[in-house]
Amino acid sequence: MKDLLSWDQTLFKDSELFELDHIPEHFNHRDTQMQSLMYGIRPALSGGRSLNSLCVGAPGTGKTTAVLKIFEEIEKHTPRVIPILVNCQVNSTRYAVFSQIFKKLIGYAPPASGVSFKKIFGEVAKHLAEREKVLVVALDDMNYLFYENEVNEVLYSLLRAHEMHPGARMGVIAILSDTGVPHILDPKVESVFLPEEVKFPRYSYDEIKDILSNRAKLGFYPNVLDDSVLESITEHTFTLGDLRVGIDLLKRAGLNAERRASKTIAIQDVESAYEKSRLVHLSYVMRALKKEEKILLGLIVNSPLTNSGELYEKFHEKTALGYTRFYELLNKLGSIKLIDADFTGKGARGRSRVVTLRYSPDEVKTRL
């Protein structure tokens, strides 16, 4: 019986370490990227405007964590620079982005409606100019501003603030997931943005193993995870190229072992956890879908291998929205990798598209 956990025992020394939004104390294998980001922010430390940066890489390559680690350092060392990270998956309009900035600076959120953008923007700029503070805004998941056609407005307002309000200094760190779809900015925005590009490559096999091994050492009690099981988790993570999968796998495999009342994690615990962990990306992107996106995805789930014309008719019937909006939503679901929409060469000017789901219909259904 000594190999079995008693009902009040746990394998987890610190389960917080396996949460996907946990910021690790030691953030390894991203020194070059951290130095580049720090270089961009340095002018702000002496009262100037920071250089703009663009962090690019696949999901789960440490972009957000790198920026948050830098922001932690700034907040510890100087009150002069005010860093704020805005999650654009949740705040995908210019008004929403500036409401978050307003809340951080002024201490309370502006009303959700009834106040013009101009007024919020004016308050933010005035606050910075009067107190001689420099703002550094990280737009996390900036892809979502492209999907909503808000990106040019947001960047333009941030980057031209000092022209309308002398003394209001704002710099931008854009965090963009590389989805293989090119994102093009308006030339007049591009000419004031001019970011330093900071590339986040996928982690190598050894880097993944090192990161997961450190998490396991700090998060589990000793001897819970042996090397062969760690190898198995590393392989799964490396195949999918997303570190979040590995962190989620550690947590779920640990819970599976506890359910068996085992004091160690076995390969079987990893294998049965993998089905759920590999869908971390799916759960993450579906959490932020808006109502009409969910309706469209639901129609695709119920009629796999449909063409875009038939799909539009059903969608229009349900929502009364026009073709342009339908087309935008279809492209968005494609760029967040939920569907593939391939041109078939049939139809008017060969523009008919066959729409297929990238996940099993059941997996998507349970999350809808």
Domains of the chain: 31-200 (3.40.50.300), 203-283 (1.10.8.60), 289-367 (1.10.10.10)
Q: Contacts by 361-364 with C-beta closer than 8 Å and gap 24+?
A: 361/301, 361/302, 361/304, 363/279, 363/282, 364/282, 364/286, 364/297, 364/301, 364/338
Record the tokens describing residue 185, joined without a space. Answer: 């900015």
Q: How far apart are CA 104 and CA 85, in angstroms?
A: 10
pLDDT tens readout for residues 87-124: 999 999 999 999 999 999 999 999 888 899 999 999 99
What phi, psi does 342 have (nearest 5°)?
Answer: -105, 135
Whether residue 348 has pLDDT greater than 90 = no
| pLDDT over 70 (residue 350) | no
With CA atoms as reference, report the closest residue to 250 among 217, 201, 282.
217
The number of residues making up the chain comes to 368
DSSP designation for 194:
-
Give the model's confidence band at 187: pLDDT under 50 very low, under 70 low, under 90 confident, else very high: very high
- pLDDT bucket at 3, cuts 50 / 70 / 90: confident
pLDDT digits (tens, 9 = 90+) for 251-270: 999 999 999 999 999 999 99
